Amino acid sequence: MSEPFEIGGEGGDDIRAAEYVLGLMEASERAAIERELTTNTELAEKVRYWEAHFAAFNAQYAEVLPPADLLGRIEGRLFGQAMQSRWYDSLLLWRSIAGATVAAAVFAIGLNVLAPTPEPTDPVPSLVTALETLEGDIEVVALYDPQTTSLRLNVGGSPAAAGQDYELWFIQGESDPVSMGTISVGTGITLAVDAALAANFGEGIALAVSLEPEGGSPVDAPTGPILAIGTVAAI
C-alpha cells in the first residue's frame, strides 16, 4: 500500500481525493477532478491511495442483516415513552448496533466507505459515516471537514412526499437530539455546522434522519419515524 498522506495538506488535495472516492462531489465537481486527474499525477496518486485504503478495510467486515423486529423495537422505544427517556433508550440500542450498521449501510449503498486510523500527526481528522437505512429507501453518506466546519452529504433514495421533509439530527451521548435542518435528495450537499455543534463534532456522535412535516419538526425533537442513523468515525 502507498505511504499515507497527511489529511488536510496544502491545497486540500487529500480532502478532495477522499471526497471523490467517497462519491460526495456534485456532478460538475466530479467532472472537473476527473479532467484534472489526467494531468495531475500527485492528485491521481492520492486518489489511488484512498481507494486502496478504504478497500483494504472491507475484508474485516461481513454483511450483517438487522433482526426482523429491529424497526418495531426502535419505534416502540421512540414513541412508547416520554420524550426524554425515549431518546436515552434509543441511543443505547443504536450504540449496540453501531459497528454492524455502518458496514451494512456501506454494502447497501455500494460505496467503499470505511474509516482508516488517522495519522498521529493529524490533530483534527475528518469524520465520515454511512447511515444505516431503517425505513424507506433513503441512503446517506456524510463527510465532516473540521477545517471548514462543513458537512458534505450524498443523499440518495426517493424525495420526501408533498407536505413532508427529511430532517437531519445531531445526537451526542444521552443528550436530546439537535436539528441540523431539513435536507433533500442530492449529491454534494454542503451544510455549515454552527460553532456550538462543531465544538462537539467528534468520533462517536450520531447523525440521524427523520421524516417530518414540511419545514421540519414543530418541536425540538423528531416527530416522525427515524429513517436512517449512523455514528461517525475518523479518517
- In the chain, domain spans: 10-58, 70-234
Residue 107 above 50 pLDDT? no
pLDDT at residue number 69: 65
When pLDDT is averaged across residues 11-27 and rounded to a whole number, the result is 81
| pLDDT classification of 65: cutoffs 50, 70, 90 | low
Assigned C-alpha cell, 196: 456550538
When pLDDT is averaged across residues 127-146 and rounded to a whole number, the result is 90
| pLDDT classification of 179: cutoffs 50, 70, 90 | very high
Residue 80 above 60 pLDDT? no
pLDDT at residue number 79: 53
Least confident of 7-21, 89-103, 129-143, 211-225: 89-103
Give the Cα separation of 229 and 169 in Å (integer). Answer: 9
Count of beta carbons in the 10 Å neighbourhood of residue 216:
17
Which is higher by pLDDT, 95 or 125?
125
